[in-house]
Amino acid sequence: MLGDIYGNRLFSQNLLSYSDIASSTHSSLTSSPIKQFLHQLWKVVTVKGSKTVEEPEFPDQPVQNINVEIHNVDRFYPLRYISSITEPMRKRYEEPTDITSSDLLFNPFSHGLSSIVFSYKKSTYLKLGASDNYNDMFEDAQIYKYGLCMKRARSNILLAMNYSSKIYLKLSDYFKHGKAPLSVLVHHVMLYEYYPEEFQDVLWSATQFHVMHQVRLNRASLLQARACYQKLGDIRMYFIDPADMYVPPDSLNWLIICTKDFQGLIQLKRTMDAKKLFQRRSKHLTLAQFATSSSDLSWLCMMLSIGRNARALPIHGYLSAKKVLYPSIIPDNVFCMRQVDSVLFKEIHSIHQFLEFQGRLFMDLQDCQTFHREYEIYHCYRTGKPLYESYEEKARGDDPFVMRSYPKMNFEVSINSNKDIIEKYKQVFEYKRNSLLRPVLVGNGQKAS
C-alpha cells in the first residue's frame, strides 16, 4: 500500500481522543475513560517514520511517507444518537433516552470508493481508493494533500472569469434562480475556495435552492435550510444526505458517511458536543432552538464541529455512488469534479491553455439551458399551468433560455390534455421521477440503507 508504515509512533493523539469514547460494551453511551481505553472496537491509527512528508507539486499527485489505516468499522450509530445529547434534550423531542447495542447498525458498504479525511500538522489529507471491505482499501490507494497551489488556482480562476465573463454572468443568473442541474452546481461547488467572494455568494444561493428542494422531498429539515441561509459550515456538507451520516460507537471526533457503494471517514476539528449549543453565550443558540428532533440537533452539532476538513471530502464520488450525478464510481480527479479543472493549478502562459476549461464552462451553460427547458415542461406536465404568468410574452421575447415551441398556445387549456406532448416527453418525466426525484429509502431495520 502506498505510504508504508515506517514505525510505531502515532502522528497525533488527537486523531482518537480516548476521553470521547462512548462505550466499551455498547450497552450505553456513557462510560468511564478507563473502561473506554481498555476496550476499543473502532479506531483510526496514523503512524510515521523518521522521513519527512514529501509534498508533491500539484494536488492530484500522491503524498509520500504518510499513511492512515482503519479498523473495526463494522457497526456504528446513526448520527442522531451522539452521546452529547443528554436525556433532558431527548425528552424535549419526546424521543427515547436509552440507547442500547440494539441501536447499532451494520455497515452497508460492500464495494466502491473508500476515503479517509484526516489532519496532520494543520494540513488536511485525503486517502482515496477502491475497496470491497469496509475495514481496508486496495493496495493502490493513495494519499493526497488538500490546499496545494491555492494562490495560483485563485489567480488563474480570476483570469478564467475575466476571459469568460459572459458565460459566468449567465451561469450566475441560473445559480441565483435555482435553475442549474446538480452536475453543474457540484462542479463549481468543488471549486468554491478558489472563487472570489462574490461568486461564492452565488454558489450559496444555488445551494439554498437545492436544500429547499430537498426539504420539499422530505430529505432535509427546515433547520438545515435555515443553516444554509446563514452560510453555516462547509457548503459541501449540504449535498450529503443526513440519513447517510453515522458516528463510531467509541469516538465523537469522527464522522462516517456511508452507503452501499461509498464510505468516507472525516476527522472533525472539534468534539461534537450538543450541550454547548444551549449555553447562554452560544452564538448558535437561536438556531439550535429551531431543532425539532435529535436528528436536527446532531446535524447542527456536526456542522459546527467538522471544521475545514470537509473541503477534502470527495462529494462527487459520494453523489456518483448514490447514482444522482453520473455513472462513474471512481472520479477522474481527486479534489475537482472535472479533469479539465486541473489546469487551474498550473502556470498559465497563454490563453490557449484555458480552451478546454472554457469549453467545459460552455457545456455547463448548455446543461443549464437544457435543465431550464425540461423544468418548464415538467412543471407544465405536473400542474397543467405555465411556469410564468406572462408565458406567451416570455416565449415571444428575446430570452434565449425560454422555450419557443409554443408561442401561440392557449394555456387556458390544460396541457395534460395534449397527448402528443405527454408522449413526446414521457421519457424525460420518467427519468425525473425515477432518478432525480426518487425518495431516499431509510431502513428501519438493523441494516442501514
Tens-place pLDDT, residues 358-405: 999 999 999 998 888 877 666 555 555 444 433 333 333 444 433 344
C-alpha grid cell for residue 103?
Answer: 441501536
The per-residue pLDDT for 275 is 82
Give me the half-sphere count of Cα atoms (radius 13 Å) on the Cβ side of residue 410.
3
Chain CA centroid to CA 382, Å: 29
**Residue 322 near residue 259 (C-beta atoms within 8 A):** yes
Q: Which of 49-63, 118-132, 217-231 has the lowest mean pLDDT?
A: 49-63
**Residue 243 near residue 236 (C-beta atoms within 8 A):** no
**Residue 63 near residue 125 (C-beta atoms within 8 A):** yes
Q: What's the mean per-residue pLDDT of the chain?
A: 74
The per-residue pLDDT for 3 is 35
Model pTM score:
0.74
The per-residue pLDDT for 12 is 32
For the cut 80, the answer to whether the pLDDT of residue 188 exceeds it is yes
**Residue 96 near residue 313 (C-beta atoms within 8 A):** no
The per-residue pLDDT for 301 is 92
**Residue 331 near residue 319 (C-beta atoms within 8 A):** no
For the cut 90, the answer to whether the pLDDT of residue 119 exceeds it is no
Torsion angle, alpha carbons of 424, 426, 429, 430, to 10: -150
Strand order in the sheet with 67-71: 9-10, 43-48, 67-71
Burial (Cβ within 10 Å: 0-12, 13-18, ≥19) of residue 427: exposed
> How does residue 191 score in pLDDT terms, banded at 50, 70 and 90?
very high
**Phi, psi (degrees; rounded to nearest 5) at 142:** -125, 160
**Residue 290 near residue 63 (C-beta atoms within 8 A):** no
C-alpha grid cell for residue 69?
Answer: 489505516
Q: Which of 26-35, 53-62, 145-154, 233-242 has the lowest mean pLDDT?
A: 26-35
Name the amino acid, one letter, at 441. L
**Residue 82 near residue 247 (C-beta atoms within 8 A):** yes
Query: Best-predicted range by mean pLDDT among 69-73, 152-156, 273-277, 333-337?
Result: 152-156
The per-residue pLDDT for 399 is 41
The per-residue pLDDT for 427 is 54
**Phi, psi (degrees; rounded to nearest 5) at 153:** -65, -40
Other CB atoms within 10 A of residue 422 CB: 13
Report the C-alpha gap between 128 and 141 in whole angstroms: 6
